[in-house]
Amino acid sequence: MSKCIGCGVKLQNTNKELKGYINDLNNKYCARCFKTIHYNENIKVDNLNNIDIIKKINKLNYYTIFITDLLSLNQELIDIYKEINNQKILVINKSDLIPSNLILNHLQDNLKKIYHIEEDIIFISAKDNFNLNIITNIINKYQNIIICGETSSGKSTLINKISNSILTTSKYNNTTLDFIKIKYNNGYIYDSPGLIINSKKILNNKINVYAKKLNNNFIYSIDNLKISGLGNITIFIDGNITSKKENLKLNYSYELNNQDILLNNGFIYVKKGIIKSNQELKIRNSIIK
């Protein structure tokens, strides 16, 4: 049975409610991919199992390129990355969205130290072709390659750019539903289903930067998080923040020095200060200090 060339799912014409449905089995795309490509529809499917994806990646035992973006990096993601036993590399995509005052080599060194990463970390932009020559050199060297990472991190876009493939791409989760094997020169590129990192949102727009001086009279709201306190902070976020005078009791207090507060769609750099919040915070040594 043939597979959809867009998402990798097996094609079938017997049940419209199941993945891979298409009226005519001679078509190359399933109905879901067709609607995503032509009508930008978000047709949801069940989340795929991270454990099963990693098991198959390890079983294939090919050089693995793991893709994410700067705002999505956290311990949960790095733990999944470290479960991959193959020779591998960590790739930070969408580097065109990173503010120019953040030096990539400095970020690279800090990420390796903070998360104890032994392998190389490469910043790329599939959109702007930045450092794509490094990726093509790896593929040409190892011939058989697996590309994996978070859902919507740009895996399929990268493969399309490098190999002139026609994988389905979208801003929605789980666009790729199964492993897709693509012939490339003397070997193959394997596109894998996206991993689900529950605590993060993938970077879609741009990294907004807000430099703020905290005082106890104002509450800053970022999604469901509310913070106040004393000190200087810089917020890196895919989204917006609001602030207002508010008489609200914040039960959590932290004394931070060159540390980051992790958000669902970014992070807050605290040079030095007392941070009060309405919920327990996830904190790491800063990647930009």
**Does some domain include residue 157?**
yes
CB-based contact 181:187 (threshold 8 Å)? no
Task: List per-block mean pLDDT (blocks of 10 residues) for the chain, which spans 289 residues.
Answer: 69 74 73 66 61 91 94 92 97 92 95 97 92 92 91 79 58 56 87 76 78 90 91 92 86 96 93 95 95
**What pLDDT score was predicted for residue 138?**
94
Domain count, the chain: 3
Residue in 229, 152, 150 with CA at minimum distance from that of residue 197? 150
Task: Identify whether residues 101 and 124 lie together within a single domain.
Answer: yes
Residue in 156, 208, 164 with CA at minimum distance from that of residue 183? 164
Element (H, E) at 268: strand 266-277
Residue in 236, 93, 239 with CA at minimum distance from that of residue 152? 93
Place of tokens 């599939």: 126
Task: Identify whether residues 186 and 281 lie together within a single domain.
Answer: no
Task: Identify whether residues 175 and 251 lie together within a single domain.
Answer: no
Per 3-state DSSP, what percentage of the chain is helix, strand, and coil (rounded to 5)? 25, 35, 45
**Does some domain include residue 196?**
no
- The residues near 209 (Cβ < 8 Å, ≥ 6 apart) are 99, 234, 235, 236
**What pLDDT score was predicted for residue 47?**
52
Distance CA 214, CA 237 (A): 17
Predicted TM-score (pTM) of the model is 0.78
Distance CA 173, CA 165 (A): 20
Nearest 5°: the CA angle 216, 200, 221 is 20
Distance CA 273, CA 90 (A): 32
Residue 133 tokens read as 């020559």
Please give the residue range of the domain that contains residue 182: 46-191
**What pLDDT score was predicted for residue 171?**
45
**What pLDDT score was predicted for residue 174?**
47
**Does some domain include residue 148?**
yes
Task: Identify whether residues 244 and 273 lie together within a single domain.
Answer: yes
Residue 228 tokens read as 């106040």
**What pLDDT score was predicted for residue 14?**
77
